[in-house]
Amino acid sequence: MAIRVNLITGRTIQQGVSMEAGKEKPAYTTACGIIELDPADFKKLGAFRNTNVRVTSKYGSVIVKAVEATQGPHPGVAYIPMGPWANMVVNPNTYSTGMPTFKGTPVEVEVAKNEPVLGSLELVRKGCRGELA
C-alpha cells in the first residue's frame, strides 16, 4: 500500500545538533533519516510508527524511518529534515533561479520494513557509485 503526499524539507533542532556533532555519527541518521507523517497519513499507509519506508519521487528514492510528526497536524504533508536523505528525492530543478525546489515535491511512501536506513556517508557513497537499489 503506497500513499501520495507533498514533501517539504527543512531544519529541526535535532538535525542541527546532530549535524554539529558529526554527520558520520548514528545520531545524524536518527535525526534526519526519517520522514515525519501526519497520523491521518499513517492510517492510510496502514503502518505502525517507526517503520522503515521507501520514499520515491520523480527524481529518486530513499529508505527512511517513518515517524509521527511532532509539529502537526498537517494531513497530506510529509517532512524530511534537510540532509542527504531528503536530497535523494527533492526536485533539483531551479527554474532559472539557482534554487532547487526543496519544498513541495510530490512523493510516494510505501512500507519497506526490512530495508535498512543507510548512514549519511554510506548513502552518498553508494549513491555516487550507483550501488543503491
| Residue 39 is a binding residue for another protein (CB under 8 A) | no
Q: How far is the CB of 120 from another protein (least distance, A)?
A: 5
| Residue 114 is a binding residue for another protein (CB under 8 A) | no
Number of residues located near another protein, criterion CB under 8 A: 50
| Residue 23 is a binding residue for another protein (CB under 8 A) | yes
Which of residues 2, 16, 110, 116 is near another protein by CB under 8 A?
16
Taking CA atoms, 71 is separated from 21, 38, 99, 101, 113, in Å, by 24, 9, 26, 22, 24
* Residues of this chain that bind another protein (CB under 8 A): 6, 8, 10-13, 15-17, 19-24, 59-60, 69, 71-74, 77, 79, 82-84, 87-88, 90-92, 94-104, 120-121, 123-125, 127-128
